[in-house]
Amino acid sequence: MQMLANSSDSVTVTPIMSNNRLFNPLLLIGFVVAAAIMAMVGFFWLGDSKPITAKPLPPPPAVAKATTTSPKGTQSLPPSTPPPASVQPPAPPTPAQPMVTQPPTQLSAEQRAREAADQKVGMLLAQNPTVDGARDKLLLLFPSFNSYEKIAAAPHINNLTGDDKLATIVGFLKNPLTPPEAQETFFNDMLNRPPQVGWPVLIEVIATPNHPLAQRAKELLTTIVGQDYGNDVFGWQRGLRDQLKLQGAIPEDSPATTTATPETGAAPVQQ
């Protein structure tokens, strides 16, 4: 029995010893692998568990000076690099031309005479502020005026003279010493007056020998009367009288059209 026990023990011990021999290397390998895994886990854990420190804020960006930037995709050459041979340098600016000062315009003798005449007539009007005073002064001095002064005074005489003083203006209109420019001013004024007052004066212009406005008077009267009487003054008077009666400007029993000249028929003498 003891032998059996011993034998059985030996038998039993042998496999245990054999299993221990097989188990020990595997256990060692497992331990090593486990230790390596733990080491790796510990390494990564320690790396992730580092304290987080606040990073300092970056300094505010400095204000950059305005610079000319090249378009995107282009590369500017450094200052020291000379321009390519195909690039031509800009042409120098053209120097500004000096301004030429124009000399003052020189008035002609006629312009100076007209200005002097305007100033003289204006002074006479200022010295006689009333309508009657200014009219009488200009009518009195008109024959002694020079040509430019008569031209300057004619519009004022027309404006200041009523129909009752028309005979004096007609005398100036017919007088050959009146410059043509002043005559035309008086002539045009007749067309602005009532027909029974102004139209008969056109007949007087036709009757004045060599008057520069006689042809114009005939053309106007031909339109008014409806017939050209040429140099027939009496024919013009009859035709104009009939026309004025048709317009109701004069009575039906009115005699032949009379003129606005004084009874003597003489024009005022001009020096």
Overall domain count for the chain:
2
Question: Mean pLDDT throughout 50-60?
Answer: 55
Average pLDDT along the chain: 77
Is residue 92 one of the residues assigned to a domain? no
Q: Is 125 exposed, middle or buried (0-12, 13-18, 19+ CB in 10 A)?
A: middle
The torsion angles phi and psi of 78, rounded to 5 degrees, stand at -65, 155
Question: Mean pLDDT throughout 107-121?
Answer: 93
The confidence band for 33, taking pLDDT boundaries of 50, 70 and 90, is confident
Contact status, residue 243 vs residue 225, Cβ threshold 8 Å: yes
The confidence band for 270, taking pLDDT boundaries of 50, 70 and 90, is very low
pLDDT tens figures, 57-95: 556 555 555 455 544 545 555 555 555 555 566 666 776
Is residue 179 one of the residues assigned to a domain? yes
Query: Does residue 32 have a pLDDT over 80?
Result: no
The confidence band for 219, taking pLDDT boundaries of 50, 70 and 90, is very high
The confidence band for 187, taking pLDDT boundaries of 50, 70 and 90, is very high
- Per-residue pLDDT at 4: 41
- Per-residue pLDDT at 264: 35
Is residue 124 one of the residues assigned to a domain? no
- Per-residue pLDDT at 243: 94
Query: pTM surpassing 0.75?
Result: no
- Per-residue pLDDT at 18: 46
Question: Is the four-CA dihedral 246, 252, 257, 258 of positive or negative sign?
Answer: negative
Is residue 210 one of the residues assigned to a domain? yes
State in Å, rounded, how far the first CA of the chain is from the last one: 195
Is residue 183 one of the residues assigned to a domain? yes
Is residue 87 one of the residues assigned to a domain? no
Query: Does residue 259 have a pLDDT over 70?
Result: no
For the chain, what percent of residues have pLDDT higher than 90?
50
Is residue 88 one of the residues assigned to a domain? no
Task: Give me the domain span that covers residue 205.
Answer: 162-247
- Per-residue pLDDT at 183: 97
Structure token digits, residue 227 = 């017939």
Is residue 191 one of the residues assigned to a domain? yes
Query: Does residue 108 have a pLDDT over 80?
Result: yes
